[in-house]
Structure 1
Amino acid sequence: MAPHTPLRTTTLRAATVVCAVLVSGAAPAALAYAQAPAAAEAPSPTPSPRPYSNLTPAQIADKGIAATKSATSFRMTGHVMAHGRPADIDVSLNQNDCAGTVKLRNGSGEVRQTGGTTYIKGDDAFWRTGMAGQRLSQEQMNSAISRLHGRWLKIPAGMTDGHGMKMEQCNVTSIAADLAKFKTEHGQAVRGPDGVVNNTPVATVIKRNSVTARGRTHEETSTLSIASKGTPYILKAVRTGGTGTGSLVFSDFGKTVKVTAPPADQTVDASSMKMMMSPSPSPS
């Protein structure tokens, strides 16, 4: 698997949401951005003189990262790939928890994470889409979906799958830490053209990097859009090129986000699902 760029890792955490492990109770091994239109998302590196005219591109990025890290809460919306399938996410996060929705091509679900425990509730189409390709028999899949119908899958903190993968944390601190990796990502930071995100003027900082994977070289571009009016929060993070592309938009900074665990009688513990959802043996 290719190294995680900060934007891809951010999506990993956000997609805590989808993933849970529909079968094993852990986060999936690989998530990446869904395809996004490059022309609309990747600005050219034409410099803009103002604002932040007295700062280098790297210093502008630092201001955005520091401000976002200090936020008490925010909302994150965007597009991800979950188990190779496109998904739209809308997640609100505070310093410890998150809650939101996930829409797959077929089906939709809700996600909550509090106290390190993740809860996922989806319609039947959501679970069926998520379980596809997991080598489950039709009987196993139907049985699992029947048990999860109208209930929350509960994934305890620290639970791992057979490969040691854990559910990613989903909170302001972890997302901000991922965005901070922009500073150490390969490539020189350059100033892009000013723009507007959610009616707020922004300055853009761009990094381009050539990555070789499986014998092919791709140019990856990461862009941070940082508010140039008011608190300099990161309002948008975009990635184009390479093995995955897409964008995340950040809003509702400081808005109260309360996350509560579902009632115990409405949950199904992931560990209790493992036996019934073990993949069927491959034909010999």
Structure 2
Amino acid sequence: MKRNAVLTAALVCLAATGLAGCGEQGSDEPFAGQSADDIAAKAVKATRDAESVRIAGTSKPQGAPQAMTVDFQVDEQDNCQGTMSMKDAKADVRQAGQSAYVKGNEPFWQAALQGQPGTDKAIAQLQGKWVKSKPGDSSTQGMCDKQSMLAAMDDDKSERKGLKRGETTEVEGKEALTLTKEQGDGEKLTLYVATEGEPFILKTVTQGGKQPGEATFTDYNAKVRVEQPPAGEVVDPAKVSVSG
């Protein structure tokens, strides 16, 4: 009797579901059964493992007079191109392998040279030119190193512990799951993680705290094509004259 009852129940289930199967069905919920912390860990890994990414955003450290805005496309081969600005100071940056170039406006060079002797004469020679520099120098440090740009996500893993799952939303046309965390100092962190394909981070937002800001992450694994500036537009900083 018991065996027949089980068989009957199975047949009823098959008929009711159109032979689609019985028991627990798959969930449409993104990252079903995974904790917010686990999702964040996978998102950080996927983002750091990507061949390339475009990062655009703003940041205003506590006490800084103005926010810094950046828009950089970088890859694992030290190729990058982008812009950075703070108030009136703006600069374009290119790097192909071991060759890095910066083209800044007058306010940018004023800030970079900080009133050193001969600043005005130096700036006159730098206007409209690409200044060749070594990768990682003080003017572009970290900007063209993909792993350096993303290292903060993974330096202190405790910062991405204790996250909570939120609602799904859209970032740049892609569906994303929100993960949030509130710190004791009034800081709130929100991560937006792609729900389809690789769990890439699509956006981060930090409200309050010592360094509020936000950044979007797009163009994952896209080819970064960097053109070397024309030779006639390149200046060797070592040859810039500041005397006489």
TM-score by length of 2: 0.73
What's 1:184 paired with?
158
- CA drift at 1:149: 0.9
What's 1:59 paired with?
38
RMSD: 3.1
* Residues 1:156 and 2:137 are matched in the alignment: no
What's 2:86 paired with?
104
Structure 1 residues 201, 258: CA separation in 2 closer, same or farther (over 3 Å shift)?
same
Structure 1 residues 272, 244: CA separation in 2 closer, same or farther (over 3 Å shift)?
farther
TM-score by length of 1: 0.64
Paired amino acid for 2:46: A
* Residues 1:257 and 2:224 are matched in the alignment: yes
Identity of aligned residues (%): 30
Q: Which has the higher contact order (CA 8 A, sep 6+)?
A: 1
Of the three residues 232, 235, 248, the one matched with 2:215 is 248
- What is the aligned length? 213
Of the three residues 123, 126, 142, the one matched with 2:120 is 142
Worse overlay, 199-208 or 53-62: 199-208
1:168 & 1:61 partners in 2: Cα distance? 23
- CA drift at 1:182: 5.9
What's 1:235 paired with?
202
Structure 1 residues 74, 119: CA separation in 2 closer, same or farther (over 3 Å shift)?
same
CA contact under 8 A between 2:72 and 2:143: conserved in structure 1?
Answer: no
Gaps of 5+ in 2: 1-27
- CA drift at 1:151: 1.0
- CA drift at 1:187: 5.4
- CA drift at 1:235: 0.2
2:134 & 2:233 partners in 1: Cα distance? 15
- CA drift at 1:196: 1.4
The structure that has the greater radius of gyration is: 2
Of the three residues 170, 195, 211, the one matched with 2:144 is 170
Structure 1 residues 183, 72: CA separation in 2 closer, same or farther (over 3 Å shift)?
same
Paired amino acid for 2:220: F
CA contact under 8 A between 1:116 and 1:169: conserved in structure 2?
Answer: no
What's 2:95 paired with?
113
1:254 & 1:173 partners in 2: Cα distance? 14
Deviations 1:22-52 (A, max 9, x none): xxxxxxxxxxxxxxxxxxxxxxxxxxx9321
SS in 1 for 2:121: helix
* Residues 1:90 and 2:68 are matched in the alignment: no
Structure 1 residues 159, 75: CA separation in 2 closer, same or farther (over 3 Å shift)?
closer
- CA drift at 1:189: 2.0
SS in 1 for 2:67: strand
